[in-house]
Amino acid sequence: MENKNFVIAVYVENKAGVLTRVTAMFTRRGFNIDSLTVGETERSEYSRITISMSGDEYVKAQLINQLKKLLVVKRVEVLEEEPIKRELMLIKVTNESQNRSDIMTAVDVFRASVIDYTPEGMCIEVTGSPSKIDAFVKLMEPFGILEMCRTGIVALDRGSRTLFSE
């Protein structure tokens, strides 16, 4: 079977230890996560876990079945139709005078923001699709990346459909 990337949204109880239970299930089953984000939802009693991973249809079905067995999980959905995906990255690059204008041009083109500026380096915030983030990283490599961190993907279905729509 063919490996595909897919995104799964999981509504869970907003309690201590829930993320540990969910990730332990991945470990026990040998699943590899490409990206995982967690945050409180519009209902404070729930958190939403967004999981991005690769696998064939069997892996996807197994994962969904195992997640649904966890008592702390209230809802599991694969975001099928190309969902809206965004990611946030903070990247710190060297601030050498000969590169400054090229870096600032890239910041403008990518609609990014400089959020910290010192004579030695600058920290840039970039949001967008994972491919946009990847392209920005590649563009910054020649200038000297000092440090970076990425949030992972957050995703929602398009239109008015929600996790609780039937």
Which pLDDT value is given to residue 13?
93
| H-type alpha helices, 82-129 | 100-109
Query: What are 32-53's pLDDT values in tens digits?
Result: 888 999 998 888 899 999 999 8
Which pLDDT value is given to residue 1?
65
Q: How confident is the model at residue 159 (pLDDT cuts 50, 70, 90)?
A: confident
* CA–CA dist 42, 32 (Å, integer): 28
CATH 3.30.70.260 residue ranges in the chain?
4-78
CATH architecture of 4-78: 2-Layer Sandwich (3.30)
Alpha carbon 16 to its chain's center: 21
Domain 84-154 has CATH 3.30.70.1150: yes
Nearest to 106 by CA among 130, 146, 133: 133
Average pLDDT, the chain: 90
Query: What are 74-112's pLDDT values in tens digits?
Result: 999 988 778 888 999 999 999 988 888 999 999 999 999
Which pLDDT value is given to residue 56?
84
CATH 3.30.70.1150 residue ranges in the chain?
84-154
Question: Which residue(s) pair with 93 in the sheet?
Answer: 122, 145
Nearest to 7 by CA among 130, 125, 90: 130
Question: Which helix (H) or strand (E) covers residue 135, if one does?
Answer: helix 130-140
Higher pLDDT, 87 or 25: 87
